[in-house]
Amino acid sequence: MAAESRGEAPGRGRLTGRRILVVGGGQDDRGQDDAPVGNGRAMSVLFAREGARVAVADRNIQSAEATVALSMNGVAIAANVAMPDDIVAMVGGAAAKLGGLDGLVYNVGIGVGDPWLAGATAESWDKVFAVNLRGAMLTLKAALPVLADGSSVVLISSIASMKPGSRLPAYDASKAALTGLMRHAGIEGERRGIRVNIIAPGLMDTSIGREATRGRPGRAKTPVPLGRQGTGWETAYAALFLMSDEAAYITGQTLAVDGGMTGLR
């Protein structure tokens, strides 16, 4: 794999001076001693490596602090996006600690309940939507008035929003609904040059991905055109591109980081 895919490439100053809030920037190792880097931690570390100051928000403050220790250029914030008051405090706190915001990543998603519609319940459906969609909406609502003109917003979705696969209807539906939210936020931000885009990772070799494979071993045999699962760093580099001025003319788009699964399979 390339140095970027391994997280070993040096920074090139692509985000110098930026102030970015990464929601879900901690990491849940799921009890794995050799857990690979997750999307949120990889993005936080990479943004800092590229010159940004980063506010790492997570419901697990110790995990957020561990990410900050790796990035060497940020602050940790405790926030549970299932709690509306936490979201308001998170955005306000990040802006205060960084002296403003010109970047936002919403990297939070859960999938709970038994598979298929037969296993779905009203309770599990509401729990998933409260985190995956309502939390994103409330974060955007709080952040848009605070974000500087020309800012960039990235919502982390999943290729489950584009093709069936997770077997969890609430997860698939909530991730698909992020597209409508992204487009609306893009319209609200267009007069101020605020860009809003989505990244949809595919099969990724993260701790959560490995746990999913343990529960459904056939996942590891899924044919990926590029021959392997992705890394958290590859999600992070896609986010870096969208966060940077290199993507200054891109908004309202979904970028699949999936080794070709949606385009070629």
* 101-106, strands of its sheet edge to edge: 74-78, 53-58, 19-23, 101-106, 147-156, 195-201, 254-257
Closest CA to 244 of 8, 48, 16, 5: 16
For residue 24 the two structure tokens come to 């879900």
Catalytic residue, from 106, 171, 237, 249: name it: 171
Neighbours of 180 (CB within 10 A): 10
- Single-letter amino acid, residue 163: K
d(CA 196, CA 189): 8
- β-partners of residue 197 are 154
Which residue is listed with tokens 């995956």? Answer: 132
Helix H or strand E segment including 105? strand 101-106
d(CA 86, CA 20): 18
DSSP class per residue in 110-157: ---S-SHHHH--HHHHHHHHIIIIIHHHHHHHHHTTTEEEEEEEEEE-
Whether residue 106 lies in the annotated active site: no
Q: Is the Cβ–Cβ distance between 36 and 205 less than 8 Å?
A: yes
Q: Is the Cβ–Cβ distance between 162 and 207 less than 8 Å?
A: no
Evaluated on CA atoms 185, 187, 191, 197, the torsion sign reads: positive
Residues noted as catalytic: 171
